């Protein structure tokens, strides 16, 4: 069954887009069919992270009703399927006839996972992206202002009927002034899904326009994202990453 999961934070710049891309890449690495969607209609940047900013059509064309959603799915060189949002300012003048939830109804079933990048804030645009999903992963940084907004977005999601799965603490540097990931999780009242360290490899991945998880697969942030993906799949990372021959045969038999 398809899981439609959005990534939200409340506060801007904490790592939502980075998480959508790398969690998507980790699930893809484990053989899952993954679609990632930029739910930022006014300030999109998923396509910039992946170097597909010029590709058309985009989510805007789908919401406007001029293009079917199948045609807005782009295959990234990493293997990820992506629906970008158009970055041009003219998109802001478009009138949308559909919501993201309505737009994805026809295609979601073709994927194991649909991951939606939610815009920052708690306004209408964020709500429309959250409402399109059944579950939400909250991303925050280990500091109070981000944690406060994470708590707000988690409560908003619950009110909208989207279940909060847990929190990812991103950009953790291990400084004594930071909140501990456990304290963050307690503060936002959610299970701790994982901790992603602060790493300059993200800058390199951004410059390469490629998911860090696939570019530096053995790096600590990549392994952390893969552990979160494995947990979402209900598997242990060590087993899913390096399955024994028996487990591989078993999995093959289950698939056919």
Sites of contact with ligand ATP (CB under 6 A): 9, 12-18, 120, 170-171, 196, 198-199, 202-203, 206, 221
Nearer Cβ to ligand ATP, position 42 or 105? 42
Residue nearest to Mg ion (CB): 17
Strand partners, 168: 139, 194
Beta carbon of residue 49, minimum distance to Mg ion (angstroms, whole number)? 8
Q: By CB under 5 A, which span of 12-20, 30-38, 71-79, 141-149 interacts with Mg ion?
A: 12-20
- Given a contact cutoff of 8 angstroms between Cβ atoms, the answer to whether 116 and 7 are in contact is yes
Q: How far is CA 232 from CA 27, 97, 125, in A?
A: 9, 33, 26
Q: How far is the CB of 240 from ligand ATP (least distance, A)?
A: 23
Among 146, 76, 107, which Cα is nearest to 2's?
A: 107
Helix and strand numbers, DSSP H then E, in the chain? 12, 8
Separation CA 216–CA 210 (nearest Å):
10
One of 10, 15, 17, 136 touching Mg ion (CB under 5 A): 17
Please, what is the minimum distance in Å from the beta carbon of residue 151 to ligand ATP? Answer: 16
Please state, in angstroms and rounded to a whole number, the distance separating the CA atoms of residues 10 and 164: 13
| Residue whose CB is less far from ligand ATP, 60 or 171 | 171
Q: Which is nearer to Mg ion, 17 or 199 (CB)?
A: 17
Binding site for Mg ion (CB under 5 A): 16-17
């Amino acid at each position: 069954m398809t899981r439609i999961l959005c990534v939200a934070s409340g506060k801007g710049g904490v790592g939502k887009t980075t998480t959508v891309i790398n969690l998507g890449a980790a699930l893809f690495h484990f053989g899952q069919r993954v679609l990632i969607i930029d739910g930022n209609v006014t300030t999109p940047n998923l396509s910039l992270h992946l170097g597909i900013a010029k590709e058309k059509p985009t989510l805007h064309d789908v919401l406007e009703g001029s293009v079917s959603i199948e045609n807005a799915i782009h295959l990234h060189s990493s293997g990820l399927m992506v629906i970008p949002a158009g970055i041009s300012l003219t998109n802001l003048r478009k009138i949308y006839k559909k919501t993201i939830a309505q737009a994805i109804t026809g295609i979601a079933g073709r994927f194991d996972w649909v991951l939606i990048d939610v815009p920052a804030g708690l306004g209408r645009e964020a709500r429309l992206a959250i409402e399109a999903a059944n579950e939400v992963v909250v991303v925050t940084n280990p500091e109070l202002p981000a944690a406060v907004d994470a708590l707000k977005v988690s409560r908003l999601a619950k009110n909208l009927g989207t279940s909060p799965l847990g929190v990812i603490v991103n950009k953790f540097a291990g400084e004594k002034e930071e909140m501990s990931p456990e304290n963050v999780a307690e503060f936002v009242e959610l299970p701790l899904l994982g901790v992603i360290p602060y790493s300059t490899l993200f800058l390199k991945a951004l410059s390469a326009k490629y998911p860090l998880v696939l570019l530096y697969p053995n790096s600590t942030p990549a392994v952390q994202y893969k552990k979160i993906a494995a947990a979402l799949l209900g598997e242990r990372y060590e087993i899913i990453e390096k399955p024994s021959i028996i487990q591989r045969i078993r999995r093959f038999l289950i698939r056919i």
